[in-house]
């Protein structure tokens, strides 16, 4: 492709949509932060960054956060720089410093908030942070000259080489953890992010072509039908399950913990039940967990049970349930 034409396309569409949080400051700055927007509310601790740089005026970029610094020297023939950095939960500040011959020529600051559904202290971000979306046709135009923005999945067919997924180029970090969810690690991203489900997301409908429903359980139960039937049949269901927030405990993509739960089991339980635990300790509740180091799920199920407090079924009952979940005989 003709590099000049490519550049022109890029420049033409830059003014549209994404990335113009403070247009005046950026109009004169040699470095434009195309992504991310200021005051973005994020759910992941990896942040994608795209900069457009006037390499006549800048020869080095430094990205500073409280977690450290990332430096890169620029190649005069490249106008766009794409990278990613790590953030921590809660408030983060990103400082983009542009240098020429070791002299600071511009400095731009962005603030973000990484929220967590399980830690009380990160559950309620300050109102100035807002969910922001990227995938609209207008925003994607600025990337098209170098990235294929189309969906190249064949429904239900796993990628043999996941790097061939168009989504992979920009989102490769999302499945980089020990325990991965089958549809995500096979890069069948649009089996969940299929756009249609956006109709069930009233708060953000129309903001992105890859929305998921809110609450998310509808989506999960489309594939996990047996769980739906089983859990519905129980008398006691855990509140976050019943309200459809599977993603409070599970990361839909991958995590360092089995069943891709977001944190070790007891941290997940205690994230929401801190006060209960304290109360249990102080008032001598009959929860035996208060005085042992056992996993909460040694006695409780996280989902639903026919016993109060979601206590696990007795072993004979458990055997019965297993038959319900996996009706081997019915299948053969």
- Cβ atoms of 32 and 58 closer than 8 Å: no
- Tokens representing 203 are 């708060």
Instruction: Say whether residue 216 binds ligand HEC (CB under 6 A).
Output: yes
Residue closest to ligand HEC when measured from CB atoms: 289
- Cβ atoms of 326 and 318 closer than 8 Å: no
| CB contact set of 131 (below 8 Å; sequence gap of 6+) | 40, 41, 204
Residue whose CB is less far from ligand HEC, 283 or 332: 283
Shortest reach from residue 101's CB to ligand HEC, in Å: 24
- Cβ atoms of 14 and 32 closer than 8 Å: yes
User: What are the CA-CA distances from residue 260 to residues 28, 58, 238, 244, 317 (Å)?
Assistant: 45, 42, 19, 17, 27
Residue from 62, 86, 201, 285 in contact with ligand HEC (CB under 6 A): 285
Shortest reach from residue 48's CB to ligand HEC, in Å: 3
Instruction: Say whether residue 112 binds ligand HEC (CB under 6 A).
Output: no
Instruction: Say whether residue 237 binds ligand HEC (CB under 6 A).
Output: no
Whole-number Å distance between alpha carbons of 97 and 118:
34
Residue whose CB is less far from ligand HEC, 110 or 300: 300
Matching residue, tokens 């953030």: 87
- Cβ atoms of 32 and 51 closer than 8 Å: yes
Residue whose CB is less far from ligand HEC, 44 or 91: 44
Instruction: Say whether residue 223 binds ligand HEC (CB under 6 A).
Output: yes
Residue from 70, 100, 237, 273 in contact with ligand HEC (CB under 6 A): 273
Query: What's the half-sphere exposure (Cβ side, CA atoms, 13 Å) at 142?
Result: 25
The phi and psi torsions of 254 (rounded to 5 degrees) equal -170, 160
Shortest reach from residue 322's CB to ligand HEC, in Å: 11
Q: Which helix (H) or strand (E) holds 319?
A: helix 315-325
Task: Say which DSSP state 297 is in.
Answer: G
Instruction: Say whether residue 190 binds ligand HEC (CB under 6 A).
Output: yes
Binding mask of the shown chain, residues 245 to 264, with x at each position contacting ligand HEC by CB under 6 A: xxxxxxxxx-----x-x---
Residue 168: which of 154, 155, 179, 153 has the closest Cα? 153
Residue from 29, 33, 35, 304 in contact with ligand HEC (CB under 6 A): 35
Instruction: Say whether residue 17 binds ligand HEC (CB under 6 A).
Output: no
Instruction: Say whether residue 287 binds ligand HEC (CB under 6 A).
Output: yes
Write out the binding residues for ligand HEC, residues 73-92 only, by CB under 6 A.
79-80, 82-84
Shortest reach from residue 262's CB to ligand HEC, in Å: 9
- Cβ atoms of 171 and 245 closer than 8 Å: no
Write out the binding residues for ligand HEC, residues 117-156 only, by CB under 6 A.
118, 133-135, 142-143, 145-147, 149, 151
Residue from 202, 239, 282, 316 in contact with ligand HEC (CB under 6 A): 239
């Amino acid at each position: 492709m003709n590099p000049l034409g490519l550049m022109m396309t890029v420049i033409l569409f830059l003014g549209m949509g994404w990335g113009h949080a403070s247009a005046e400051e950026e109009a004169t700055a040699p470095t434009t932060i195309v992504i991310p927007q200021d005051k973005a509310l994020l759910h992941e601790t990896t942040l994608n960054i795209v900069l457009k740089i006037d390499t006549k005026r800048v020869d080095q970029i430094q990205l500073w956060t409280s977690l450290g610094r990332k430096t890169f020297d620029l190649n005069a023939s490249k106008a766009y720089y794409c990278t990613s950095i790590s953030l921590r939960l809660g408030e983060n500040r990103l400082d983009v410093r542009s240098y020429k011959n070791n002299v600071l020529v511009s400095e731009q600051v962005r603030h973000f908030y990484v929220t967590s559904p399980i830690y009380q202290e990160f559950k309620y971000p300050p109102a100035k942070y807002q969910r922001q979306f990227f995938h609209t046709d207008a925003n994607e135009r600025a990337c098209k000259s170098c990235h294929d923005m189309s969906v190249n999945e064949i429904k239900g067919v796993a990628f043999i080489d996941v790097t061939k997924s168009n989504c992979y180029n920009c989102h490769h970090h999302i499945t980089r953890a020990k325990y991965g969810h089958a549809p995500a690690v096979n890069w069948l991203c649009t089996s969940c992010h299929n756009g249609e489900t956006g109709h069930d997301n009233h708060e953000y409908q129309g903001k992105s072509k890859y929305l998921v429903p809110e609450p998310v359980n509808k989506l999960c139960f489309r594939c996990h039908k047996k769980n739906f039937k089983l859990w519905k049949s129980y008398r006691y269901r855990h509140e976050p399950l019943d309200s459809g927030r599977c993603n409070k405990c599970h990361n839909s993509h991958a995590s360092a913990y089995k069943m891709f739960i977001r944190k070790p089991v007891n941290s997940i339980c205690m994230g929401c039940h801190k006060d209960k635990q304290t109360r249990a300790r102080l008032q001598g509740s009959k929860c035996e967990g208060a005085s042992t180091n056992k996993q909460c799920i040694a006695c409780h199920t996280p989902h639903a049970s026919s016993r109060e407090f979601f206590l696990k079924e007795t072993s004979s009952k458990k055997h019965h349930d297993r038959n319900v979940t996996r009706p081997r005989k019915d299948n053969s």
